[in-house]
């Protein structure tokens, strides 16, 4: 299982999880109860219910670099371009816009 904290303007908005059942995104309850929370995407409106998908949500997939930048990431970190979660975790900590992806390191 791999997880990442999703930040909106440096405020924890939720957690993205990849496991054997696919992907889950859950908004943080503190974020939802804030004075003026914003949805991270129009396709993922604010809700207490988790979002589930067998493939990486299009919003997150759209944050992954393309073209020559993807080639550099693929070669530098030796990540298969079909491993979308690894690319998201490696490349999107400081991406353009209000969203940041920060890997959660599970020490087992």
pLDDT averages per 10-residue partition of the chain, 108 residues: 94 96 97 95 96 96 84 80 87 83 81
pLDDT at 97: 82
Helix (H) or strand (E) holding 23: strand 22-27
pLDDT at 76: 79
pLDDT at 100: 93
Task: Indicate the pTM of the whole model.
Answer: 0.88
10 is in which domain, residue-wise?
A: 2-104
C-alpha 73/C-alpha 17 separation (Å) is 22
Cα 77 to chain centroid, rounded? 18
Overall number of domains in the chain: 1
pLDDT at 108: 56
pLDDT at 107: 58
């Amino acid at each position: 299982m791999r997880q990442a904290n999703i930040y909106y303007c440096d405020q924890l908005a939720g957690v993205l999880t990849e496991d054997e059942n696919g992907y889950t995104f859950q908004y943080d309850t503190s974020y939802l109860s804030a004075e003026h929370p914003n949805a991270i995407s129009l396709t993922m409106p604010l809700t207490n219910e988790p979002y589930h998908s067998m493939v990486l949500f299009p919003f997150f997939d759209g944050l992954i670099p393309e073209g020559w930048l993807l080639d550099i990431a693929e070669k530098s970190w030796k990540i298969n371009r079909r491993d979308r979660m690894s690319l998201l975790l490696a490349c999107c900590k400081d991406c353009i816009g209000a969203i940041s992806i920060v890997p959660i390191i599970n020490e087992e």
